[in-house]
């Protein structure tokens, strides 16, 4: 795992965006896996800015989102479909027909999930998967106890996740109990996984994911098994890491040739 600790969410998001842009430059038809939630909002704003400046071209990219609530349509204010249109898609030149998000109103959910998996394979697999992390360690909507080999399917959300996400719904409006989510096995097949986590509320989940045992009780810990996982943190989210000094040192001492790991972007000047 590559653990990059930045001063604040803005600098981390900027760095992550430069990395995504470099991946797209290296492979213009890249397939991006996308996440929702508060965490990637700044990353998407940075990507939109890179597009405006002519530094990122999404015209040949395709995207697959991690998840969607069951029972709400694509225009519902809290739907991930609407989130993606508002926070990213309408600001960049990705073709709408190349953006896919599970359909929360699908009649045949198992069939829809199987078709989603097939579509990912048909696109050549996901090159780079963006991830956030839930306070309980979930990735996508893979709640604790999710099979580490799971595929896209229906999941029941925990009470904690529904409470955490109530802020995206209207006052008194119930948060759906179910969601369709890519599985942990699906996520692990992405060629690269980029997880972002900011703020003190994520510090315990981050420490468990990076330094705890690999366990279905803590779904994000599976990233320890991913050959190419990059974790962008701010100081607060990194607050409970035992080895944070080492992670900072590794990043600061990266030999020049290794910085090219980030798709050729030398981001030395962008870090703290
Ligand atoms: C949501 C999403 C996840 C997201 C997580 C954290 O419910 N399904 O993909 O990473 O919870 O959200 P936030 O970034 O708002 O803290």
- Provide the pLDDT for residue 260: 56
Instruction: Check the CA dihedral 235-237-242-248 and report its sign.
Output: negative
CA distance 255 to 260: 9
* CB of 140 sitting under 6 A from ligand 1: yes
Residue whose CA lies nearest to ligand 1 atom number 13: 37
Show the beta-strand stretches assigned E in the chain. 2-6, 31-34, 62-65, 67-69, 99-100, 128-131, 153-156, 178-181, 192-197, 229-234
Is 164 known to be catalytic? no
Per-residue pLDDT tens digits of the chain, which is 272 residues long: 999 999 999 999 999 999 999 999 999 999 999 999 999 999 999 999 999 999 999 999 999 999 999 999 999 999 999 999 999 999 999 999 999 999 999 999 999 999 999 999 999 999 999 999 999 999 999 999 999 999 999 999 999 999 999 999 999 999 999 999 999 999 999 999 999 999 999 999 999 999 999 999 999 999 999 999 999 999 999 999 999 999 999 988 887 766 654 544 444 333 33
Q: What is the pTM of this model?
A: 0.94
Cα(95)–Cα(101) distance, integer angstroms: 14
State residue 252's pLDDT score. 86
- Ligand 1: which of 68, 165, 193, 233 to mutate, judged by most atoms within 8 Å of the beta carbon? 165
Burial group, residue 131, by CB count within 10 angstroms (0-12, 13-18, 19+): buried
- Nearest atom (ligand 1) to Cα of 35: 9
- Choosing from 46, 117, 127, 136, the catalytic residue is 136
Model pLDDT, residue 263: 45
Q: What is the pLDDT at residue 259? A: 65
Q: Tokens 């990122």, residue? A: 56
Query: Is 103 among the residues known to form the active site?
Result: no
Catalytic site includes residue 136: yes
Q: ∠ CA(209), CA(220), CA(174), 5° rounding? A: 120
Give the distance between the most distant pair of CA atoms in the chain. Answer: 53
């Amino acid at each position: 795992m590559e653990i990059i600790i930045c001063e604040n969410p803005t600098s981390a998001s900027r760095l992550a965006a430069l990395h995504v842009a470099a991946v797209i430059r290296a492979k213009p038809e890249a397939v991006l896996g996308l996440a929702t939630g508060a965490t990637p909002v700044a990353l998407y704003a940075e990507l939109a800015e890179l597009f405006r400046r002519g530094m990122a071209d999404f015209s040949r990219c395709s995207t697959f989102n991690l998840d969607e609530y069951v029972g709400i349509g694509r225009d519902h204010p809290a739907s991930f479909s609407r989130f993606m249109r508002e926070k990213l898609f309408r600001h960049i030149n990705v073709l709408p027909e190349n953006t896919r998000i599970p359909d929360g109103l699908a009649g045949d959910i198992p069939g829809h999930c199987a078709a989603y998996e097939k579509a990912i394979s048909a696109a050549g697999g996901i090159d780079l998967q963006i991830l956030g992390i839930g306070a309980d360690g979930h990735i996508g909507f893979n709640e604790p106890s999710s099979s580490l080999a799971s595929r896209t399917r229906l999941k029941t959300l925990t009470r904690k996740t529904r409470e955490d996400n109530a802020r995206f719904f209207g006052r008194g409006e119930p948060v759906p109990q179910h969601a369709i989510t890519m599985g942990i096995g699906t996520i692990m097949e992405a060629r690269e996984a980029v997880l972002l986590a900011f703020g003190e509320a994520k510090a315990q989940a981050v420490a468990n994911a990076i330094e705890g045992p690999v366990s279905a009780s803590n779904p994000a810990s599976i990233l320890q098994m991913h050959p190419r996982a990059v974790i962008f943190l701010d100081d607060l989210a990194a607050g409970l890491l035992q080895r944070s000094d080492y992670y900072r040192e590794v990043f600061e001492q990266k030999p020049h040739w290794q910085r090219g790991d980030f798709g050729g972007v030398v981001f030395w000047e962008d870090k703290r």
